[in-house]
Chain A
């Protein structure tokens, strides 16, 4: 082999090595640097007023320090974020990410089990860590989500009354074990609405039903629900006081124990004012800890929500008014109304492919009166508080999980980009299926005209 060739071969080897290194650089990795420092950034901690030019130090997955005059530890990987802004990552608290890959292809959907009462099912069991939705969603600055079984959104379907347990997890990791924040943060309860009209697929049209019939069906469902809770209470007593020899395990009743004990909140999906009131009265009577989900007509029930201190996970501001005589902008002004009434709420996409619109929903609410500060909290902090995860998430404070985003500006604005993404303290790639397809097909096309 002559010298030129040898040099060329060496060059190729170096290139190959670089390529291997490049490819091996994981979308996220436990083995990457464990200490990072982000410097020269404007930092919105959401705990204190923004720091105009500060440093965040991340160590072993947690936030180690944050402030204007923080020393950068030796050996830290430094990100100079001059001109950039740092925020806690966004939290989408009701999604079907990992449970629903392609909405219309049932083989790819694990969100909706058969049967009306499935309290023993846990979303985390079926979340696919390799879902294409995970990198797509986190690229928009959403660092953690809750996936909830049986909760329908734009690209998903509702099913069951007690649909199972919702699970909170980070949007990075090889396995659910690595991603998991808390596999059981709430029990999903699709409140049995009194529906006087429904869609009839055989005639492809709406079918009206007399109120009395709808009410009968509703009563039947609520009675079943009460029965389940009563049985769970009896089961809990038997488990505690009965003879272990005679005790037979029941997965469903066992799963309901933390619910009837008021330890695990029920995530009650309801939209119409009548249903929301009924659900609140039911939960009060049953001593259940309630979180309202979707809540299109929460604005009609403000007093009761406030009195019972029930937080709301609001569906998208991008929806049409619930009633024909509701103000055209009610879905957009409702967040600011709830905030003024002192009701805690968080925004959510209730979707999978729409999760990345979370900041857009919050931004729209700002256009219609919500303060920017409150809007940031409603996509970063409030959900963590509502689901009891605020000790780990929601603000940039020492000791919390280092889930944060470094952006080119206001994270609620549509044109803002997420430059860097930290999940569990790891610098995480913003690459995703969409970027790959874009780059791949851009290459196919001839040079631009």
Chain B
């Protein structure tokens, strides 16, 4: 998915219903979650979820301003 398609300017007519319909069918409980590189806003440096999950249970919430 390109950056332009991913960062839509207009809310898609179907509300990205494809993502909702696919959610329950992959990355199940018991699977190993991916560990892509993220940017820590506080430091500007690279961070990964595994940096946190190595220390114990880690609650990961995804979201934006809306």
Chain A bound to chain B: no
Write the residues of chain B forming the contact surface with A, with a CB cutoff of 8 angstroms: none
